[in-house]
Amino acid sequence: MGNTFVVDDMTIHTIVELQFGFLPIRQMFPNLTPEILEENRHWLERDCLDQDDKALLCFQSYIVRTPHHVVLIDSCVGNDKPRVVPEWNMRKENTFLRGLTSLGLTVDDIDFVVCTHLHNDHVGWNTRLENGRWVPTFPKARYLFTATEYDFCVGTQRPPLFNDSVLPIIEANQVDLVGGEHQIGDHIRFLPTPGHTPGHVAVELGRGRDSAVITGDLVHSPIQMRYPELHFGTDHDRELASRTRRAFFERYRETKTLCCTMHFPSPSVGRIRAWDSGFRCEMIQADDTPFTQASRSRSSMMNQVGTP
């Protein structure tokens, strides 16, 4: 259902709603050649591909508890919403809310909901259906969207997600449109990472330093770490997305900062290391103990996503 990481004076939880083979990996990354796929197949098949060569993706939220706030970052897929992806369409599951309960939290405990960008699998639990009406899932929270991302969403002829997952929050007067370098207290900062969408942000965590960072959709699969120029099929600006990805990996390469990916197979969290001219994610084990005691490697099969 999820994992927990304790970092400095923060606790980072994940709530995993879904994990499945999303798309054939060469369809997901149109410039991935057969030769590059075969060269990397031996490690991708460990936990990044299913038997049909579909990229395994995790769909999850992060909940960050600081000394002052409880912040939900990206709200997954949601229920009762018409979506093109079959696994997302008109879901009737309580996985997400059960995950929240398992952390000792209720919907009333969330102070802020941050959307790294406005795509279906990042805004789904912004709202829930009550008596035929979409209402905010988190009634006491402020929902934060970057103004650039909001304008882009509105400018793309208001996709269905706008009406069921964004507009009801606006009508409830719970939205703050913020800049790309917005801060929440002294522990949470936005980092502009445009490309996948114009207003996309990553989220830096830590007081006085980047103890952890949440990627959003600047990267979808570990193969993009070794080859940052591999673009996701729906990237708004493919060249910008590639430059953003490489700059992000360079920023955190060989540091102690935890990289909390949104879509890597669970537990999805590790540290960025160099690998030839690209990068890899050295995964860590989720644990409820303080992070200094919890950073042991995973098993030999799983301890380095992207290791030959």
The 10s digit of each residue's pLDDT in 217-235 is 999 999 999 999 999 999 9
pLDDT confidence band for 179 (50 / 70 / 90): very high
Q: Do residues 107 and 138 make contact, with C-beta atoms less than 8 angstroms apart?
A: yes
Residue keyed to tokens 């959709």? 217
Percent of the chain whose predicted confidence (pLDDT) is above 90: 89
Average pLDDT for 67-91: 97
Flag whether pLDDT at 252 surpasses 70. Answer: yes
Domains, the chain, ordered by start: 4-294 (3.60.15.10)
Q: How far is CA 248 from CA 94, 115, 260, 272, in A?
A: 34, 19, 13, 10
pLDDT tens, residue by residue, 138-147: 999 999 999 9
E strand or H helix at 42: helix 34-47
Q: Determine how many CB atoms are found less than 10 A away from the CB of residue 152.
A: 18
Flag whether pLDDT at 7 surpasses 60. Answer: yes
Flag whether pLDDT at 133 surpasses 80. Answer: yes
Flag whether pLDDT at 307 surpasses 60. Answer: no
Q: DSSP label at 251? A: H
pLDDT tens, residue by residue, 271-300: 999 999 999 999 997 754 333 333 333 332
Look at 306 and 264; give whichever has higher pLDDT: 264
Q: DSSP label at 5? A: E
Q: DSSP label at 108? A: G
pLDDT confidence band for 157 (50 / 70 / 90): low
pLDDT at 305: 43
Side-chain half-sphere exposure of 108, counting CA atoms within 13 A: 0
Residue 61: which of 16, 106, 12 has the closest Cα?
Answer: 16
Strand arrangement, sheet containing 175-178: 4-7, 10-24, 54-65, 70-73, 112-114, 142-146, 175-178
Q: Determine how many CB atoms are found less than 10 A away from the CB of residue 154.
A: 14
Percent of the chain whose predicted confidence (pLDDT) is above 70: 92
C-alpha 63/C-alpha 11 separation (Å) is: 8
pLDDT tens, residue by residue, 11-21: 999 999 999 99
Flag whether pLDDT at 48 surpasses 80. Answer: yes
| Global pTM value | 0.92
pLDDT at 159: 86
Provide CB contacts within 8 A for 144, sequence distance 6+: 112, 113, 114, 115, 175, 176, 178, 182, 184
Query: Would you report the helix, strand and coil content of the chain in percent, each value rounded to 5?
Result: 25, 30, 45
C-alpha 135/C-alpha 259 separation (Å) is: 32
Beta bridge partner(s), residue 205 = 188, 212
Side-chain half-sphere exposure of 148, counting CA atoms within 13 A: 16
The pLDDT mean for the chain works out to: 92
Provide CB contacts within 8 A for 95, sequence distance 6+: 1, 15, 16, 17, 18
Task: Give exposure, 53-73, as e/b (b: 16+ Cβ within 10 Å).
Answer: bbbbbbbbbbbbbbeeebbbb
